[in-house]
Structure formats: structure tokens, C-alpha cells
Amino acid sequence: MALIQDVVIEPFDSSLREKLQHKLDHKTKPQGSLGRLEEVAKQLGLIQGTQTPQIKKPVIYIFAGDHGVCDEGVSAYPQAVTAQMVQNFIAGGAAISVLAAQHQLEFFVVDAGVKGELPSDCLKSSAFISRKVVQGTANFALQKAMTSQQTQEAVDAGADLIRQSVSQGSNTVILGEMGIGNTTSASAIMHCITGIPIRECVGAGTGLSSEGVEQKTSVIARAVARHQDAIKTPFDILAALGGAEIAMMVGAYLAAAAARVVILVDGFIASAALAVAHRINPLVLEYCIFSHGSAELGHAGLLNYFKREPLLSLSLRLGEGSGAALAYPLVQSAALILSDMASFEEASVSGKEVSG
């Protein structure tokens, strides 16, 4: 478990914070008039350790995996949809595929633990990466979702993908996911990490009825009770209740922060994975920009737990990294404002003369 034990994430340079604020305050605008955009600009400068941040070769990873807990009737969609959506991502028909193309974002779909084999045309795509560690997880209502070895392999695979991107010049990443049943896994993880009551962690997911939400809540409660003695650490929680795609995201978060990469956090499931990474190393949070507030019930609780406010509120609950892709232009704009916008002195514009 070398990554979990040994990952080194650097704290921000506190002296740089004042310099970034001074630079923003002397741009050709009233102080603070660009609102949240200025906060994002400062965070980008702190992440990259510079007063002239740049977004370079942004990349999206969509991690896909199946969940054995679907056997308990916790999803409105059949498990086969996971593999079908992987094919749809590759074919360009999914929302995230469209958004990635719109914003010219490099885009990869990672088979973390999809059940069954995907068709050959999908496997041959340059946008497809196979890092399968399991043919879908076990039903965590009955046993641990993954073995310790499978969990570690998934965490390491996510970290490895980030390191490869960094070696190729990327400094910005969006992490998305696809997996029928993974809101059940995310809700269970959220409860165990945060201590928030299970009912406040469980939402409708792909569109469950109120009876379906009750079933989902009951399944999670029984599973948590079953595994209570075995979930003492974040890694234990991930193995007992997680998914391969969630575990890969945990590794990706930690490796990205260690490499000073800008991380755009998507919705509920992405935030649940971040909660695990945050428990392993709290400094990971400083490298994260929260893109949107999901309509999935548990996401507001996670954002409150992190003490973070998202950039957008569009009532999204799709996953796939879609909310992060929508927020990406705002992050790009923040970098440009800090790096390229003129100061009063540079533009020969008169500054403020009186207070008030």
C-alpha cells in the first residue's frame, strides 16, 4: 500500500497568497468585482506556485465499473447499462463525449471493473484504456466488495494514469465515473467516512421511486452493520463498500495533488471518492475545484463536510464528469484573468481615488 502510506502532497506557499491578492487587486477593475472567479484564480496560482497560472493539456478520465450490490434491487437500470454506456462514450454519443469535444478536452474511458467483455471496436479505440482489476465487484451486502489486493491495484492504476498524463505535459484533470449501482456504494462510503446518517446520504440515483430509495437505504444499513468490525481505515471502507472505479479515482486524486495538478471535482460519486482520499491525506482538498452542486441528495452534505462551495448549481445528477466539463471554461477564464489581464499601471488607467 505504498501510495496510501507514502504519498507526499505539498502545502501551499503562504507568502504567494498575498502576492496573488495584490496582483488581482491592481487589475483594471474594482477590487473583488470578478467575485468567485478571483478566488479560483488565486487557487490556481497557489496550486501551480506561480502568479501566471496556465491550463495545459487538460484531460478527462471516465472510470467505469460494475457493482454486485445491484443484485439487491438498488438501481432503476439494469447492470448491462454500464458496458453499453462505455460504448456510447467511445462512440461520442454521451453528454460528456459532447462536452469534451466542445471544449477540446482530451478524453479517455477506463475499464476499471466492467462486468463482461467489451466489443472489439471499443477495445481498439484510442480513447479506451483497460485497467480492469475485477469483473464487477462482489455484492457488499453479503461480503466485501473487493479484496485488499484488488483495491490496491485499482488505487495504483488511477495514480499511474495521472502520472502518465503529467509526464505528457498535462496539469489539469477531470475525473468522472460510470457504474450502475455506484450511488449505493458512494452513499455507503459517505456515511462511513463522514458519520452523516445513512438517510441523509441516500438519493434516487438513476431515478428510484421512494420505495426504491427505502430499499437502497436498508441495504446500506445492513451492509454497514455486517462490515462494522472490518472498516476501521479509509482503505478498509473502500475495499468493503467501494467499486473499482471509485478506488481508481481515489488513487488519481492523491497522485494529482502530489503532482500539483488542478483537479476539477464532479458530482456526488466523485466527491465520495474524494472523501476517502481526503481522509488519507487532507491536503488533497487544496488542489480541488468543486465544479457544481449535484441534485443527488448526498452531495450537499459532502460539500458541507468539505466546507466548499461549487461554481455552478444546475440541478445536475448525471455523473460522467459532465458538471466538471461544464465548469472548465470558468477555470480557464480565471487563469487567463490572473495571467493576461492588465494592471492599472500597465494599461495607463487611473486607479481608485477615494474610499467608499
Full DSSP string of 294-347: -SSHHHHHHHHHHT---SB-------TTHHHHHHHHHHHHHHHHHHHSPBHHHH
**Which residues have a Cβ under 8 Å from the Cβ of 80 and sit 6 or more positions away?**
none
The x, y and z cell numbers of residue 355, run together, are 474610499
Distance CA 222, CA 99 (A): 39
Handedness of CA 236, 241, 243, 248 (dihedral sign): negative
Grouping H, G, I as helix, E, B as strand and the rest as coil, residue 354 is coil
Helical H runs in the chain?
Answer: 2-6, 14-25, 36-48, 81-91, 95-102, 120-123, 148-167, 182-194, 210-227, 234-241, 244-258, 268-280, 297-306, 322-340, 344-347
Burial 141-154, CB ≥16 within 10 A → b, else e: beebbbeeebbbbb
Q: Which residues pair with 175 in a beta bridge?
A: 61
Active site residue 117: no
The x, y and z cell numbers of residue 288, run together, are 480541488
Q: Which of 214, 320, 345, 346 is catalytic?
A: 320
What's the angle, vertex CA 129, arms to CA 123 and CA 134, rounded to 5? 90
145 DSSP assignment: S
Catalytic residues, by residue number, are 320
